[in-house]
Every structure is written in C-alpha cells, then in structure tokens.
Amino acid sequence: MIEGLRKPVGFHQKSKVVVIGAGNVGEAIAYTLMVRMQANDIVLIDVNQQRAGAAALDIAHGTGFYRQVWVRTGDYDECKDAQLIIITAGLGRKPGQTRLELGQTNVAIARDIARKIMQYNDNPLILVVTNPADVVTAAVLEETGLRRGQVIGSGTSLDSARFRYFISEALHVDVEDISGYILGEHGDSQVPIWSAVNIAGIPLSVYEKQSGITLDRTHIAELTKTSGADIIKGKGATFYGVAMAVSNITERIMNDQQGVVPVAHLMGPQFGKWANVCFSMPCIVGSDGIERTIDIPLSDEEREALDKSVEIIGDMQQKLGIFTHLTTPLE
C-alpha cells in the first residue's frame, strides 16, 4: 500500500463506491465523486497497482478541503459491501479499429471483471462505463445473471448532456433549464429526440417562435455526435464530461433520488422487437438501480431512427455472442 492510504482516524464507513479501472476515466470519476461528496469510501482497483495507488493518493491529498473521505486502492474483495461498483476498465479505440473489434476486446475484459465481482458480491449494483458501452453492459448482465435493472450502462447520459449544452449555447439559455434526450446507441447511430426538447417546460417550437431564434437542428445533432471524437483528437481522451455524467447517475443511486436519466440497459418484453437489446432510454434510477423504463413519446421519424439504432446494437450483440441463447425476452 502506498504511504498515506490508511483508514483515517475515527472513520466510519457509511457509503462505499468501488471504481474498477484507474485510467484517465476511472481517476476522473473517483475525483468527481470525492469533490461532490457522493461516497465517503472510494476504492480504486486496477491491474496496474502502482498507477491506482498514485491516483488514489493524489485524490486523497485533496480531501482535507472537503470532508473525511477515504480514497484508496484495493482488490476485488472490496466489492463485497459496496453500494455501487463502477466498471471503467478496458482499452481505448485505436486508429483504424472498428467498434466490433474494440467490442471483442473490451467484452472479454468486462466478462472477466464481472466474474471476479460475483466471487465477493452475489447481489451487486453495477454501472458500466467501458466502451462500446451498450454491448459491454449487455455482456456484464449476461455474465453476472443479475436482474436487468442491476446492471446499468452510462449510455447516452453524456450525449444528452452535450445535446443540452449545444442547445443552451444556441438559445443563450442556462443549460439547467434545457430538457432533452439523446437515445439509442452511445455512438454514431444515436438519436436526438427533438420532439421532447423543452425550455423551462416550454416546447422548443413554441420557444423558438417567442424568442425569434430558430435552431439548426442538423448542426446541433452533428456537434453532439462528433464532439467526443473532436476532444479525443485534441487531447487523446475524454474523461471530465463522462465523470460528471457518471457522478450524476451515482447521485441518483446513492441518495435513492428516483431521478430520470437516459441510461443503457437490456430492454424488457414490453418493448416488443427492442427486447433483449441493450441501449439507452429514460429511466427512473434509485438505490435499487433502474426502477422503471419510460416509454417516451416519439415522432414517426424518431422511432424509425431508433429502430435503426437498435438494429445496429442488436447485430453487434449477436456478433459478439451476447444473449444469443435467448429465445424469449428476458424478464
């Protein structure tokens, strides 16, 4: 153990989050959870123990400015009493590598992690961040055998935040007053749900007439879809935005807020042809995971686009051998 990671004097564990993967994303998530005071015991696990230890110590040095938080490293036995386990471990997409090739690598890594988690906790709540997020989430669910609501993918929560950001910039309105979703794949086939966008409860079309501002919907949708790649091109990786998105989901879980967030999960039988495919829809999320999926009203154009997105994800699941044995929708 790196010097300085011992349990603080007088420490009493009340809330514990385990982050598996101490790369840029995992470290940013651990730091954000500490700053936002969302757990008082944060454990980083990584095959590179030196990197995990250094990351934990760096974050721990800042706890004196907030409150008593134990930020440390550990092994998989730390999963046994965690309220939430966050998986970020995996490889980044290399130049020229397809999403399917990346999926083959990261699905294998995630399955191995899932087996290790289940050795110590037979009823965990798992949040998957590793890309390709949709199929990796499905693989973790299959490997663990947990109920659908216990394995959540960060999905399009970040994409939706980007969407709201670009709308707020165009309308000159505080982003907190913008409501809107990106649904489907966390990837190129993502679907902007323009029909659901509102500004402080006012439908977008009505607000545009009142303000005299007409949004370039095509441009904003493209910015939302490509901005992640632009960030990667400029600095090699995205991690602050996803850390905030994960923190937002974590807050709903740790505080049992029953908040509505767009997250990836395996769809149930009530969704017909979408059943057994893992993608993002708005969900009520609390301390037990996903409480309910909201079947949001869609325009004909949006439903057609979402059908195509679901087909793409379903095809990748099949090629990666995920849930191929199911003959009926998973309850």
Q: Domain locations in the chain? A: 16-153, 157-319
**Residue appearing with tokens 């992640």:** 228
State the average pLDDT over residues 99-127. Answer: 95
State the average pLDDT over residues 224-252. Answer: 93
Are 178 and 199 contacting, i.e. CB atoms less than 8 angstroms apart?
yes
CATH of domain 16-153: 3.40.50.720
**Cα–Cα distance, 309 to 184 (Å, whole number):** 6
State the average pLDDT over residues 238-245. Answer: 95
**Cα–Cα distance, 183 to 195 (Å, whole number):** 12
**Cα–Cα distance, 158 to 169 (Å, whole number):** 17
Q: pTM to 2 decimals?
A: 0.94
Going across the sheet that includes 178-179, the strands are 178-179, 198-199, 202-203
Q: In this predicted structure, what is the pLDDT of residue 92? A: 81
The Cβ of residue 208 has, within 10 Å, a number of other Cβ atoms equal to 15
DSSP letter assigned to residue 284: E
Tens-digit pLDDT profile for residues 243-266? 999 999 999 999 999 999 999 999
Q: In this predicted structure, what is the pLDDT of residue 18? A: 98
Which of 151, 112, 118 lies closest to 133, judged by CA? Answer: 151
pLDDT above 70 for 9: no
Fold for 157-319, please state it. Answer: L-2-Hydroxyisocaproate Dehydrogenase; Chain A, domain 2 (3.90.110)
Which of 223, 230, 153, 144 lies closest to 184, judged by CA? Answer: 153
The Cβ of residue 148 has, within 10 Å, a number of other Cβ atoms equal to 18
Q: In this predicted structure, what is the pLDDT of residue 13? A: 60
The H or E element that residue 259 is part of is strand 259-266
Q: In this predicted structure, what is the pLDDT of residue 46? A: 96
One-letter amino acid at 302 equals E
Tens-digit pLDDT profile for residues 191-201? 999 999 999 99
**Cα–Cα distance, 125 to 286 (Å, whole number):** 11
The yes-or-no answer to whether 16-153 and 157-319 have a common fold is no
Are 168 and 174 contacting, i.e. CB atoms less than 8 angstroms apart?
yes
Q: In this predicted structure, what is the pLDDT of residue 156? A: 97
**Cα–Cα distance, 129 to 110 (Å, whole number):** 10
Are 85 and 123 contacting, i.e. CB atoms less than 8 angstroms apart?
no
Are 94 and 22 contacting, i.e. CB atoms less than 8 angstroms apart?
no
**Cα–Cα distance, 77 to 74 (Å, whole number):** 8
State the average pLDDT over residues 273-298. Answer: 96
pLDDT band at 12 (very low <50, low <70, confident <90, very high): low
pLDDT above 70 for 7: no
Measured in residues, the chain has a length of 331
The catalytic site residues sit at: 186
pLDDT band at 282 (very low <50, low <70, confident <90, very high): very high
Q: In this predicted structure, what is the pLDDT of residue 69? A: 85
**Residue appearing with tokens 């470290």:** 27
State the average pLDDT over residues 268-272. Answer: 92
Highest mean pLDDT among 8-12, 155-159, 229-233: 155-159
pLDDT band at 2 (very low <50, low <70, confident <90, very high): low
pLDDT above 90 for 5: no
Q: In this predicted structure, what is the pLDDT of residue 67? A: 64
pLDDT above 60 for 60: yes
Sequence-ordered list of residues with C-beta below 8 angstroms from that of 265, at least 6 positions apart, any chain: 137, 148, 149, 151, 152, 153, 155, 278, 280, 281, 283, 290, 293
